[in-house]
Structure 1
Amino acid sequence: MITTLTNWLHEVFVANLNWWTLLGAIAQISFTMRFVVQWLASERAKKSVVPVAFWFFSLIGGGLLFIYSLYIKDPVFILGQGVGLLIYIRNLWLIYREWKSRKANQGT
């Protein structure tokens, strides 16, 4: 049993290691960071908060995961990350428009 598990772990985490796997791992870590950032911001504020960094980590992680999903040719993963990217871009655009509007109102 231990030998089978050891062989499986070696195959999955060592034998299959390549640049695409590293990209996928970096992408997943970036994507996970959005939850860490959101959690810390909410704990600090003592209420639910979605900081701008959440959307940037979503965009970076989601973009890298989208590229990875294209490489592994997984249609479910491609669709999920593709739609997510549209949402992240839209939220960042709305935040930018609000910031630009506030900045313009401060000047008048």
Structure 2
Amino acid sequence: MFYSLPHDIGVYLYDVFVGRFDAWVAFGIVAQTLFAGRFLVQWIESERAGRSVIPVSFWFLSILGGGMTMIYGLVRHDAIIILGQVLSNLIYVRNLVLIAKNRRSGRGGPAGDG
């Protein structure tokens, strides 16, 4: 049977966003929303400071959204998501450790740690 391209795209989008929708997809959408929200936080803080900054809340949103995305990948058995989020979350945690270390030593943090 011949389908027009717009019809095929519509069928695909329906399948992805409606036909396969379940509680885990909702969880994944919340995870991605939190993860993307970190850039909104970073943008707002940079606008307030008049320069590019990365506030600590950026790293917490990264960990929360990335951790939830990793859980989603584990449930969905998606190796790409799992591998990407494991490495990323290690980096996010390390950034928080470095910020805390700099603050304890009285040096503050690197410029832009908010």
Whether the TM-score (by the shorter chain) exceeds 0.5 is yes
Unaligned runs of 5+ in 2: 107-114
Cα deviation for residue 35 of structure 1 reads 0.7
What amino acid is aligned across from residue 77 of structure 2 in structure 1?
K
Which whole-Å CA distance do the structure 2 matches of 1:80 and 1:39 have between them? Answer: 24
Alignment gaps of 5+ in structure 1: 103-108
> Once superposed, which parts of structure 1, at least 4 consecutive aligned residues long, lie more than 6 Å away?
none
Counterpart Cα distance in 1 of 2:11 and 2:79: 29
Cα displacement string for residues 30-89 of structure 1 (whole angstroms, at most 9, x for unaligned residues): 000111111111111111100011000000000000111112222222111000111111
Which among 53, 57, 64 is matched to residue 53 of structure 1? 57
The equivalent of 2:45 in structure 1 is 41
* Structure number having the greater helix percentage: 1
- 1:98 Cα offset (Å): 3.0
The alignment of Structure 1 onto Structure 2 pairs a total of residues equal to: 102
Distance 1:3 1:75 in 2: 31
Percent same amino acid at aligned positions? Answer: 45
The one of 86, 91, 98 equivalent to 2:95 is 91
Amino acid at match of 1:73: H
Look up the match of 2:83: 79
Amino acid of the structure 2 residue aligned with 1:53: S
Deviations 1:3-23 (A, max 9, x none): 444333322111111111011
Deviation at residue 96 of structure 1 after TM alignment: 2.4
Using structure 1 for the length normalisation, give the TM-score.
Answer: 0.83
Q: CA RMSD in A?
A: 1.6
